[in-house]
Amino acid sequence: MTEHAEDPRSELERMLDDLFPYRRSMETHRRIPERGADREVLLTDVALMSKAEDAQGDAGRVSGSLYSGDHEHYRFLAQVFEHFAHANVLQRDMYPSATKFEGEIIAMSADLFHAPEPIGVVTGGGSDSLVHALYAYREEAREARGVRMPNVVLPVTAHVALRKGAHWMGIEVRDAPLTPEYVADVDAMSDLVDDNTICLVGSAGDYAHGLIDPIAEIGELARDRGIGLHVDGCLGGFLLPWAEDIGYDVPPWDFRVDGVTSLSADTHKYGYALKGTSVLLYRSATLRARQWFASTDWPGGLYLSPGLAGSRSGGLIASTWAAMVRMGREGYLERASAILRTNDAIKAAIRATMPELEIIGDPLFMTSFRSAVGPSGDDVIDVYLVNDALKKRGWRMNALQLPPALHFCITGPNTRPGVVEDFLADLREAVDYALEHRGEPAASGAMYGFGSMPNGDETLRTVMGGVLDAMHVAAPDG
Ligand SMILES: *Cc1c(COP(=O)(O)O)cnc(C)c1O
């Protein structure tokens, strides 16, 4: 790579420095130190790392990920967290406050999403919610209908955590294609349903494009076939109600749709809570009870648990509760309004001034865009080259595939004055860069190329496994 011509480090060293940026400046611990380190020293190091790592997000140059970005809000949540960080909410006799916090998080969410009754659980995140829902439906199908070879029918854009859960639990995933509008094709879903289908899934909105599947139609299909429908509102859940209040056109997606039997929404995204919580709501207590676990004959005692987690920190539940009560409807509305307006501005500018790009659907809170298709049917630019140029200018988009696309999910920090203007100027330049470098391989698209090699998926999975291996070790010496 010519741009590194003056960098004396080897390619491998550069990769290691990217993965372990502190390996040259801080001590690497491979053994618990003999004598405990000084608190002040540790705090200084931690502060140094967090300051460096927050800079890009705080500048408003990151898609998704941060959601609030308000450090005063974070400090307040950390204060609340501190009071119960050490508390194990498994021990409810010791910590009845956890019952208050959790019950109220569920009640407030159920109210927001129009659930007939406040029936739900607080989980450790969106994936956790999705996997638990899938488990409840699998158990329900097994107990009530004798299903032994379960499958789940979902649009191909449904969140990948459902695939992970299905993989772990021996559930077959049946992918339905999308309509030309990039939402679930309900007729195709219908064709995939059989007696072993445990539930349907729809997204509001989907991770890749932020689009809301036709939940009302999927709900009808679910009722026709006598099965449940999980709505994945992990991303959009805590934003869409406010968009609706403001007057945006939000198609029905929550419990107001008859066929919806469960719904997930992430408090740690647009709920503006700390990372590590999500809400999973059920229409019926019977379905929820499918995920309860009780053991009566273990020497360790009677054991009762709502889900996979054993011990959980009271700090997370308390601070999630505090986030919701502190934000209030006014606070949520105000933030949603800024986010939606910012996204509107980006969509409008791309449509008006960047014919090389095509926005995928008409998403509310993110903009997902791909290359426009030329008269020959080919992409007019490589959108991964656009990503290369945006990266160089300090932006962190999410790169998508099938088709190649990028998305910018708008959060609090992106709504700051001047950010959109900077982004649009840089995006225009990035598109020009892609036009000028047409035909050249994109750095950020390199991984994608594996997919079209013979055995490409297998090769790619092996490489990705190696990346995880590399991420779970202490830094090699610098
Ligand atoms: C983020 C997300 C999830 C999973 O969330 P985690 O909290 O990262 O586990 C699920 N569904 C959608 C649509 C998401 O955007």
- Give every CB contact of residue 335 below 8 A, 6+ residues apart in sequence: 68, 242, 272, 327, 412, 415
- Please give the Cα distance from 343 to 289 (Å, whole number): 40
Give the other-Cβ count within 10 Å of 227's Cβ: 22
**277 alpha carbon to ligand 1 midpoint, in Å?**
11
Strands 228-232 and 262-265: parallel
Is residue 366 a contact partner of residue 408, using CB atoms and an 8 Å limit?
yes
Is residue 400 a contact partner of residue 407, using CB atoms and an 8 Å limit?
yes
Q: Whose CA is nearest to atom 5 of ligand 1?
A: 126
Strands of the 262-265 sheet, one edge to the other: 120-123, 278-282, 262-265, 228-232, 197-203, 151-155, 172-176
Ligand 1: residue of 128, 266, 280 to mutate (most ligand atoms within 8 A of CB) is: 266
Query: For ligand 1, what atom is nearest to the CA of residue 125?
Result: 7
**158 alpha carbon to ligand 1 midpoint, in Å?**
10
Residues facing 359 on adjacent strands: 369
> Is 207 in the same domain as 110?
yes
> Is 172 in the same domain as 308?
yes
Q: Whose CA is nearest to atom 3 of ligand 1?
A: 126
Residue 166 lies in a domain: yes
The residue segments making up the domain with residue 271 are 87-312
pLDDT (0 to 100) of residue 451? 42
> Is 135 in the same domain as 107?
yes
262: domain CATH number?
Answer: 3.40.640.10
- Please give the Cα distance from 111 to 366 (Å, whole number): 25
**131 alpha carbon to ligand 1 midpoint, in Å?**
11
- Grouping H, G, I as helix, E, B as strand and the rest as coil, residue 371 is strand
Residue 344 lies in a domain: yes
Q: Which of 312, 340, 369 is the last residue of a domain?
A: 312
> How many Cα atoms within 13 Å fall on the side-chain side of residue 348?
8
Strands 197-203 and 357-359: unpaired
Residue 266 lies in a domain: yes
Residue 472 lies in a domain: no
Q: Whose CA is nearest to atom 13 of ligand 1?
A: 207
Strands 303-305 and 357-359: unpaired
> Is 284 in the same domain as 206?
yes
447: domain CATH number?
Answer: 3.90.1150.10
User: Strand (E) positions, 266-396?
Assistant: 278-282, 293-295, 303-305, 357-359, 366-371
**165 alpha carbon to ligand 1 midpoint, in Å?**
13
> Is 186 in the same domain as 116?
yes
pLDDT (0 to 100) of residue 403? 94
> Is 345 in the same domain as 307?
no
- Please give the Cα distance from 228 to 137 (Å, whole number): 8
> Is 346 in the same domain as 268?
no
> Is 342 in the same domain as 244?
no
- Please give the Cα distance from 113 to 107 (Å, whole number): 10
Strands of the 405-409 sheet, one edge to the other: 357-359, 366-371, 405-409, 398-400
Question: Tell me, what DSSP letter sits at residue 450?
Answer: G
Which residues contact ligand 1 via a Cβ below 6 A? 125-127, 130, 159, 161, 203, 206-207, 232, 234-235, 266, 278
- Phi/psi for 461 (5° steps) reads -65, -40
Burial of 460: CB neighbours in 10 Å, binned 0-12, 13-18, 19+: middle
Residue numbers in the chain where pLDDT is lower than 50? 1-2, 446-452
> Is 236 in the same domain as 353?
no
Residue 264 lies in a domain: yes
**What domain count does the chain have?**
2
Q: Which of 277, 312, 347 is the last residue of a domain?
A: 312
> Is 307 in the same domain as 332?
no
Residue reference for tokens 């109600």 = 241
Q: Report in angstroms the alpha-carbon separations of 15 from 18, 240, 466.
A: 5, 40, 14
Is residue 445 a contact partner of residue 404, using CB atoms and an 8 Å limit?
yes
> Is 261 in the same domain as 223?
yes
Residue 38 lies in a domain: no
Is residue 113 a contact partner of residue 255, using CB atoms and an 8 Å limit?
yes
Q: Which of 312, 337, 354 is the last residue of a domain?
A: 312
Residue 141 lies in a domain: yes
> Is 185 in the same domain as 157?
yes
Give the distance between the most distant pair of CA atoms in the chain. 72
Query: For ligand 1, what atom is nearest to the CA of residue 130?
Result: 10
pLDDT (0 to 100) of residue 478? 72
Q: Whose CA is nearest to atom 6 of ligand 1?
A: 126
Residue 160 lies in a domain: yes
**156 alpha carbon to ligand 1 midpoint, in Å?**
15
